[in-house]
Amino acid sequence: MTSIDDLLVNLGPWHYWIMIFCFLRGFPTAYHAMAPTFAAPSVDHWCTKPLLLSNWSTERWKTEGLPLVDKGKGRWRRSDCEMHPVRESSGEIRILNDTAVPCLSCDYDVTDYTSTLTSQFDLVCDRIWLRATSQSMYMVGVMAGSFFYAHISDWYGRKTALTLALPMPLIGGLTSTFASSFQVYIVGRMLASFGLGGLYNTGYTLMNECVAVKHRALGTFLVSVGWTVGLLTLVGLAWVIRNWFVSKFHKRIAKGASKRRVTFLDLFRPSLRKSSIIMAFMGIFDSLVYFNQTYSSILLGRNPYLSFTLTSASELPGWIASVFFIRYVHRKTTYIVMYSMQAAGSAIIACLADELWWLQLGFAVLVKLGATCSLNVIIVHMSEIYPTEIRTLATGFARSHIRALGSPSGG
C-alpha cells in the first residue's frame, strides 16, 4: 500500500516554497523574543545629582555623593539606587555622608545604548522587576498561543492556523512600538507572542509533514536555522538602531472532518501519557538553559553585541550537528550527550569568577550549542511518536515555553 511518504520521497517546487516560508518565519519570531535583550538591557545607572550641584562633574558626584555598597565577594562600588542627602545652610552646601536615601531619578550610561526601555521607563532599582515580568508575560503569551493554535491546526488545518496567527505579531509589534506606558508595552508583547506561539509550532509540524522521513532532518534544520539567522541579523539591527522606542492538503476530507476533535487531554491517553510527560520535562531543561544563556549573554564579556553574536552563532553548528545525530545516532544516546554537556557547562559557568569572563563566554557557547542540538532532535522525535491528528498539539505542549517563564530573571 502506498503511503504519503512514498509520494513525497523527492523534493520539488512545492516543497521549496514551504521551506522558504518556514525559514523566514524564524526572523520575526527571533526579533520579538530577543529584542528586549537590547531594547531593555541592564544599563549602568546612578542617582541624578541635585540642582544644587549642577556645576559638579558626574565623576565628582559619583565619588562624593553616592555611598559605597558591598556587592559581595569583597567587592565595593558606588550605589546604583541610593545617594547621600544634600543640604544647603547659610549659603553652604553640605553632603550628609552618614545617611543614604533612595534616588528620586536616575541618569544612565549611554556608552553602548543611546535610548532604551530601561531608561525611558526607569526600569531600575525598585522597578527592576518590571523587566523580568515583561519577558515572563511574553512567555505566557507564547504558551497560550501554542495551545490555542495547536487546536486550530489539528481541527481546521495548518493553513488556517497560520493565517490566523500571522497578523498578531504585526499588531502586537506596532502596539509595543508606540506604547505610551510600560503596561501598554507589555500588552503589545503578549499580543505578538500569542501569534508567534502558533506560528512557531505550526511551522515545525507543517515542515515535518510535507517531506519524506529521510528529508525531515534537513527540513527541521531549515526551520531552526531561520531562528538563528534571525538572531544574528538582530545584532546588526541593534547596532544600527540605537533608539528602540518610538514615542508619541487543498481540499477538506469529509471523513477527517467528521472525526472527534482532539484536545489537550488526548496527550495523556494511556498510550501517550509517558511520552508526553518525558517530553515536557526534557523541554523544561532545554528551554531554561537556552533562554537563560541567550538573555544573559550580553552580561558576559566587555562588548554586549559581540557576546550576543558569539552565543547566537553557536546555534549554527548546533543545528548542523543535529542533522548528524538525527540520522545516525540513537535518540537516547543523543539526549545523554547533549544534556550532560549543558549541565556540566552551566555548572562550570556558575563557579567561575567574573574576572574570567572569556572562559564563561566560551562555556556559554558550548552550552548553547548543546541546547540547540537537543531542541532540534526533540522536534523530529515528536513527529515520530505522535499521530498526525495530535502532532501540533503535542509540539505546542512540549514547546509551549511554560518552562521558560523563570528564564528572564535567571540571568
Q: What is the CA radius of gyration of the chain?
A: 25
Tell me the mean pLDDT in the region 1-29.
72
CA dihedral 55, 57, 61, 62 (to 10 degrees): 170
Would you say domain 1-43+119-244 falls under CATH 1.20.1250.20? yes
- The string of DSSP codes covering 37-105 is HHHS----EEEPPPGGGTTS-HHHHHHHHS-EEE-STT-EEE-SSEE--EEEETTEEEE-TT--EE-SS
At 60-87, the pLDDT tens digits run 888 888 888 877 666 788 888 888 888 8
Q: Which residue bears the cell 510600560?
A: 182
Whether the pLDDT of residue 261 is over 70: the answer is no
Distance (Å, whole) CA 225 – CA 372 = 10
Predicted confidence band at 402 (pLDDT cuts at 50, 70, 90)?
Answer: very low
Whether the pLDDT of residue 251 is over 70: the answer is no
Give the CATH class of 262-410.
mainly alpha
Burial 348-385, CB ≥16 within 10 A → b, else e: bbeeeeeeebeebbbbbbbbbbbbbbbbbbbbbbbbee
More confident residue, 402 or 50: 50
Q: What share of the chain is helix, strand, coil (3-state, %, to 5)?
A: 70, 5, 25
At 321-374, the pLDDT tens digits run 888 888 888 888 888 888 888 888 888 888 887 778 788 888 888 888 888 888
Per-residue pLDDT, 241: 67
Contact (Cβ atoms closer than 8 angstroms) between residue 130 and residue 409: no
Distance (Å, whole) CA 397 – CA 281 = 11
Residue 210 CA: distances (Å) to CA of 28, 219, 397: 23, 9, 21
Predicted confidence band at 398 (pLDDT cuts at 50, 70, 90)?
Answer: low
Contact (Cβ atoms closer than 8 angstroms) between residue 132 and residue 139: no
Residue ranges matching CATH 1.20.1250.20 in the chain: 1-43+119-244, 262-410
Whether the pLDDT of residue 409 is over 50: the answer is no
Q: How many CB atoms lie within 10 A of CB 80?
A: 17
Q: Which residue bears the cell 500588552?
A: 187
Predicted confidence band at 125 (pLDDT cuts at 50, 70, 90)?
Answer: confident
Q: What is the DSSP letter of 224?
A: H
Predicted confidence band at 161 (pLDDT cuts at 50, 70, 90)?
Answer: confident
Distance (Å, whole) CA 8 – CA 219 = 13
Q: Which residue bears the cell 553602548?
A: 112
**What residues contact residue 167 under an 8 Å CB cut-off, 6+ apart?**
195
